[in-house]
Amino acid sequence: MTTYHHDDETMLRWGHSWKEEDRVADYVERMDSRDAERQDVFRLLAQLVPAERGAPIRILDVGSGYGPVAAACLDAFPNATAVGLDVSDAMMEAGRPRMARFGDRFAYIHGDFADGALPPQAVAAGPFDLVVSARAIHHLPANLMARLYGEVYAALNQGGAFFNLDTASPETPFLHDLMRSVRRSEGEPRPERAERTPEQAAHDAMHHHRDATLARHLEWLRAAGFAHADCFWKRLSTALIGGYKEA
């Protein structure tokens, strides 16, 4: 059984446990084993972007990790450029060799969105035609997710779009247990809880908040200003949601 150690106070900021090298290595290996399934959803995401394939669009990937979403968008839009925002050096180290094939079409930006704000260095790299994110924004508590959606809207050009492939919490405890048992029967690892201080355990429990349902994500998108906010794909509690900033 793998045990991850949190020995840095800063790990208590939302999402910062991804600075742990062992956790990153396990994650990248697990996602590589599911790559075909993920690519299907990324292809759908790219089809929803309101731009010609040859357009030189500017992309921001929030919580880019090893870069899979940015890579899929750069493949779909051969004249696009992208920046990947992340706080984890270990993730960016894992991503650099994978993203090297894009040359100067891709760059990482080291920065933190734990307060629900896009860091100034990410805003300065825009404005963007497309903002994407996968499995990253759920690290925030609900009020900060809603805030971040507003920040993303502000960083987009008119006519731009935002897509987030992430957790949409089931509406009822029955659905929560049902979906979790299906995911575990399909091999999802149980979260490790060993070696946690009480503060870290409380932080982890917050991470698994249940108020970020699909309905609320869509509410937050609309409140941020997005038009045509919708869920474009969903499997169990993973949903591809997004919206458009009207031209």
Ligand X SMILES: C[S@@+](CC[C@H](N)C(=O)[O-])C[C@H]1O[C@@H](n2cnc3c(N)ncnc32)[C@H](O)[C@@H]1O
**List of residues contacting ligand X (CB under 6 A):** 14-15, 18, 27, 31, 63-65, 68-69, 85-88, 91, 112-114, 134-136, 139
Instruction: Return the residue nearest ligand X (CB atom).
Output: 15
Work out how close the CB of 52 gets to ligand X at its nearest, in angstroms, rounded to a whole number.
25
Judged by beta carbon, residue 112 or residue 219, the one nearer ligand X is 112
> Dihedral of CA 92/145/161/239: which sign?
positive
For residue 140, count other CB atoms closer than 10 A to its CB.
23
What percentage of the chain's residues is helix, strand, coil (to nearest 5)? 45, 20, 30
Contact 83, 111 (CB under 8 A): no
Host H or E run for residue 240: strand 238-244
Q: How far is the CB of 230 from ligand X (least distance, A)?
A: 20
Q: What minimum distance in Å lies between the beta carbon of 75 and ligand X?
A: 15
β-pair partners for 84: 61, 108
Closest CA to 164 of 80, 50, 60: 60
Which of residues 32 and 199 has its CB atom nearest to ligand X in the complex?
32
User: What is the phi/psi pair of residue 213, to 5°?
Assistant: -80, 170
- Give the nearest distance from C-beta 153 to ligand X in angstroms: 18
CA 198 and chain centroid, separation? 27
Nearer of residues 84 and 170 to ligand X, judged by Cβ: 84
Q: Smallest distance from the beta carbon of 21 to ligand X, in angstroms?
A: 12
Separation CA 140–CA 151 (nearest Å)? 14
Q: Which is nearer to ligand X, 9 or 55 (CB)?
A: 9
Q: Smaller CB distance to ligand X: residue 74 or 136?
A: 136
CB of 25 to ligand X, least distance (A): 12
Structure tokens at 239: 């949903």
* Residue placing its CB nearer to ligand X in the complex, 121 or 172: 121
